[in-house]
Amino acid sequence: MTAESDPNRKTVLDDDTELVQAINAGDTQRFQELVQRYEQKLYTFGRRMCRNESDAEDLVQDTFLNVYRYLKDFRYETRFKNWLYRVAANTALKKRRRSKFAPEPELPLEELVEREDLAAPGEVPEWARMPLEQLLNEELLGILHQAIWSLPEKYRIVVILRDIEEFSTEDTAQILNLSPANVKVRLHRARLFLRDKLKGYFGHDV
């Protein structure tokens, strides 16, 4: 029984549904449309996760190879974009661990942020509730990206998905196979770390 024919299975319709269904129905030439729709977005995501251009290009290629291979297993229970980014996120994490550009083992975030700052997720400054790139001019974007790069990997990917790619908490949880509460805690801790890194450039405690 397919996902489309199972009456107990909810189908999520989005802008990609018709295209994905057409490809799965045998019109494989249209897969190139899917590539064109997302390749630049995935490359940008790859640069933010992997930092290295070559690794980012490999991430895009590997992601689409996996998508092509497993597209028939897509169950239409979520937005295709969420499923695509789950594939890309897994590819990025695996690539970072294998890459010659991978950094030394990272410290836990708890060792990078004062413990009293790791409070409940509700205790967040007003600026930290906004997407980060809306707060900063171009001069500070480089500083922000360096700060994001210094985050431990599991926190960095949450910040990228939530505050830069602008996925919702629920979508981010779905992509990373986490609970929404876990996403909120990781995002809160990551934002506190970034706040500490950026406060000197604002001239006061942000």
Our count of domains for the chain comes to: 2
Residue 71: give the domain boundaries. 17-98
The residue with greater pLDDT, 31 or 193, is 31
Q: To which residue do tokens 């169950």 refer?
A: 75
Asked whether residue 6 is assigned to any structural domain, the reply reads no
- Go through 122-160 and write b for each residue having 16 or more CB atoms within 10 A of its CB, e for each that does not: eebeeebeeebeeebeeebeeebbebbeebbebbbbbbb
Domain boundary among 50, 77, 98: 98
Q: Is 184 within a domain? A: yes
Q: Is there a single domain that holds both residue 22 and residue 78?
A: yes
Give the pLDDT confidence of 11-41 residue by residue, as tens digits. 778 889 999 999 999 999 999 999 999 999 9
Q: Are residues 178 and 140 in the same domain?
A: yes
- Specify the CATH number for the domain of residue 151: 1.10.10.10
The tens digit of pLDDT for each residue in 94-116 reads 876 655 444 444 445 444 444 44
Mean predicted lDDT score pLDDT of the chain? 79
85 and 154 part of one domain = no
